[in-house]
Structure 1
């Protein structure tokens, strides 16, 4: 039955009909061209957005690493400032003759005239001084 239906349709061979068929074919080609052009624009836009997104992500990761380094550096800086303050305090103390004499008496077991030194057990400085004096006397 479908074969019979196809046999019933005839194409007109007039100039107007040929012109209309040509217009229809041209419109179809234009539609296909527009679709392809639109697809090309979408592909280019996708590539651009993808590259920008990857770049932003990499910059974000780099920023995070730099912030971590910054935090570590700030922590080290506070440590160094504390050490500097302690060293400056020690330098100021070492300029005082009484403090130097006190340190020498406690660490190295020096004594003033008429003083007696009694080393106590557990006193590491006294034991080291005793070891060095016994070695030098032998």
Structure 2
């Protein structure tokens, strides 16, 4: 039996086996390249998705800050409109001579003929003293 084991067995279809080996090597290369391409595609897709989500988050934060700014400016605008209407009323009142006289007497402690001025402390002044 030792004689039989030392004998070389001839390979019958050596070209067929060689061709099959080449095809299997090409198939494994194609599979490897496909895996690499898919991996790169998913990496780029993941990076692109992360960038989109980050951009969306930044835009949302910017939009929220602009909405808060809009609310504060709207409040300020409403206050200014109220102040403007009050000043318009004051302009109309200041065109009346009686109102001007009453205003001057009240603000500057002026008196009309025969009037005596008494200074009464404001309620706020009295509360601060307590």
Specify every segment of 5 or more residues in structure 2 that has no aligned partner in the other structure, as ranges.
Answer: 1-8, 123-130
Alignment of 1:69-108 (within 5 A): 69-108=69-108
TM-score (structure 1 length as normaliser):
0.74
CA deviation map 1:69-123 (0-9, x unaligned): 000000000000011111111111111001111122233333333x130415437
Residue of structure 2 equivalent to 1:37: 37
CA RMSD between the two structures: 2.0
Specify every segment of 5 or more residues in structure 1 that has no aligned partner in the other structure, as ranges.
Answer: 1-9, 124-138
8 Å contact from structure 1 (residues 105, 111) kept in 2: yes
Distance 2:20 2:75 in 1: 82
Residue of structure 1 equivalent to 2:118: 119
The structure, 1 or 2, with the larger RCO (C-alpha pairs under 8 Å, 6+ apart) is 1
Residue of structure 1 equivalent to 2:53: 53
**What count of residue pairs does the alignment treat as equivalent?**
113
CA deviation map 1:38-58 (0-9, x unaligned): 101111111111111111110
Q: Which ranges of 4 or more aligned residues in structure 1 deviate by more than 4 Å?
A: 10-13
Residue of structure 2 equivalent to 1:127: none
Distance 1:39 1:83 in 2: 66
